[in-house]
Structure 1
């Protein structure tokens, strides 16, 4: 049987039958044939039906099978990311690197593209322009990004680990005595939420509001739900900025406000939005996806009690094969360009599929090695993730803490029964049911209710020294 990672694989459900022999025009010609229709302009009915719809459950269930089909178009393939909204998707590793590192040909500014799609499209919260580091180029981008990188430098790594441990212990206390839990809503989604809510200086009771808003933004199920999530997130951010303008603290919001680059209130809010959105849901997916791999792969089973393979190994394999954001890095051509065998017109939306590019030559495991180069989960170039080390500290510590307290934890269902949330952008489990030996506050030995490594008195993040103006 053909591997889903290999070119020439049978077309997935919903793809045109002619794909069994390659696209009708042939791999070299098919991209150019579709390129003129793969921006924001509406396609005719026949063309729309021929496109892979990234937002449907079938794609979420088996994306690598779809990537194998899409590779038959070449380095770029036409896809649909919401009803009537199309894009070109980069599935080739070399092409992805070339695009991500070329500010001359490609722009992150989506304002012209926004005029070509319905304003209420479900993907607008993820792609609509804002005055932040994600949607701007050149000096404007560097000014915004510097506020983020300089402020995160003030977060001490050891204190960050301690905060993760305290947060993890709090969550484990809530379900530890039951002997079972769905680790997605009970742990993976809650932990980064509570971390970022805390790091930015908001009281814990705002956590539910934040997680509902960010989950809605990422899932983009309907235009109405996307608009509601966007409004909820905006309200949260505005209250946060208002609180910190009135009273500073040792937190990221205060450091954003006091940064020498002197951003306006609107710009401050925009940097908080992009930092939280890029940190919460993707981190939740990374934690859940790594846990699902560890709990379903015999190579990792002994890791829970000190085996040879580590949490870092599981995270590395996930970032190669099932990155928390399957595709993103939206770019727009500054001019008509012939790019890796495909004509891309000026202003056309192009997305990078990190998952497809990472696995271009097959699934990556510890045994197979990492292929040529590094994975693209953090993207690359000037818009690469500004704080990958902080993200890794949070994810690694969260998983280590959970498996330390619940050393016999295992999946409650076969891995084949796990389901994924439909999304054009993220790779997110709908649920991760697990079972374990219950732990209680009164049992012998250390438990999350009583341990010396998680003090109840919270120290400051670090010093309140003003951020420097050094360029990252």
Structure 2
């Protein structure tokens, strides 16, 4: 059972260095429903201990170290030589049925590799995503959004996840990747299983099968899409490498882009100051998006690394090849580096740091802002219909539903 860690004194610089990984103190269960209900209470209690790293569990019997100090996180993420992202040594001792293994195991892609291998994958991904026409993407998002809003605007109520954000992101991703809807459905179902740790092995298999089907299709019939751009990239990715690049990008879109939009909508509907400013038109949607990336980012705990050897950092020993998880939301709210008015502030870690920076930021912002603006322009009097609940999970920050009410309105027409 997850317990909020008690506030105990930190070890001084003259004390014998300790290891948060080997500590006998109770570990915080990041997968527990109690943690999902109010993670910020846990983060505050962690910081009160005066340490930069806290022992946690990612799943039953899967220990890790959570970084809750902003500067420590940046130091680790900017030192891939000592803190690589390759988990292969760690996963040798992890049981095959471990529910978080599919989210953490080695894959031939940049976020699971190191050195020249990681650089090759990152270059292929970055340059392929860079070929996306953002003006055309704006039109795509608008067309799909209007069609979805028209399907429920006369009802006066909706579940914005099932009726809006999921089908919108699903449709946009299928266009971006040139993916047939039936293939995308397999991918989405598999990703949901992996993120929630429910029958994750089967979800992993569904993703691989779906993306191999897409690769086979695009090798035969290339188009103007990310999949085709990856296939023709000079990195000359083979089928296995293609499957994992696509699984990473599509999976992040279907799960985390959706959460990005939903969490921002919840914030706008429940925050009287900044959120109310967005609804009233006095603040741009971008400010709400960045506030969410500070406080409730879609990936709240991630950016995994595995030290090559035992290493002393912040008066604590970190063992070799054991997972270090950056508490993105916790670090973003570290009082030592932030606080006060964040308008215009982009210093959060939600997009990663250095070589771990997300290459699709511009695209993600555009999709989220367009989706939210289309909805709020069409339904300006939208309100929350019932209190939200959060899906448990060690990595994501995700709602189970977002039920809203609004005055019934006539269908929209595309501009």
Q: TM tier, shorter chain?
A: over 0.9
Q: 1:426 to 1:36 in 2, by over 3 A?
A: closer
Q: Deviations over 1:283-312 (max 9, x none)?
A: 1111011101111122333533x5212211
Corresponding residue to 2:34 among 42, 58, 74: 58
For 1:81, what is the secondary structure of its paired residue?
Answer: strand
Instruction: Kindly indicate whether residue 273 of structure 2 is the aligned counterpart of residue 303 of structure 1.
Output: no
Distance 2:166 2:338 in 1: 26
1:150 to 114, 127, 143: 127
- Larger of the two Rg values belongs to structure: 1
TM-score (norm 2): 0.93
Q: What CA distance in whole angstroms lies between the structure 1 residues aligned with 2:45 and 2:233?
A: 48
SS of residue paired to 2:407: coil
- Alpha-carbon distance, 1:243 to partner: 0.7
Could you tell me how far 1:13 is from its partner in structure 2? 6.4
Change (3 A) 1:319 1:15: closer
Equivalent position of 1:79 in the other structure: 56
Which residue is 2:162 aligned to? 185
Does the 8 A contact of 2:67 with 2:327 survive in 1?
Answer: yes
CA RMSD, Structure 1 to Structure 2 (Å)? 2.4
Residue 374 of structure 1 pairs with residue 351 of structure 2: no
> How far apart, in 1, do the equivalents of 2:408 and 2:345 lie?
44
CA distance in 1, matches of 2:216, 2:391: 34
Residues 291 and 342 in structure 2, CA contact (< 8 A), matched pair in contact too: no
SS of equivalent to 1:74: coil
Equivalence map 1:20-419=2 (5 Å): 20=7, 22=8, 33-37=18-22, 47=24, 50-71=26-47, 72=49, 74-220=51-197, 222=198, 225-299=199-273, 300-301=275-276, 303-304=278-279, 306-361=280-335, 368-369=341-342, 374-413=347-386, 417-419=387-389
Per-residue deviation, residues 170-198 of structure 1 (Å, max 9, x unmatched)? 22222222111111222222322221122
2:399 to 429, 449, 462: 429
Mind listing any 5+ residue stretches in structure 2 that lack a counterpart? none
The answer (yes or no) to whether the contact 1:218–1:423 under 8 Å persists in 2 is yes
Report the CA distance between 1:32 and its aligned residue. 5.0
Partner of 2:414: 451
Secondary structure at the counterpart of residue 420 of structure 1: coil
Q: Write the distance in 1 (CA, Å) between the matches of 2:100 and 2:408.
A: 42
Q: Name stretches of at least 5 consecutive residues in structure 1 with no aligned partner.
A: 1-11, 39-46, 442-446, 453-472
Q: Cα gap change, 1:15/1:28 in structure 2, threshold over 3 Å: closer, same or farther?
A: farther
User: 1:33 Cα shift?
Assistant: 4.1
Q: TM-score, normalised on structure 1?
A: 0.82
Cα pair 1:31 1:73 within 8 Å, conserved = no
Change (3 A) 1:323 1:192: same
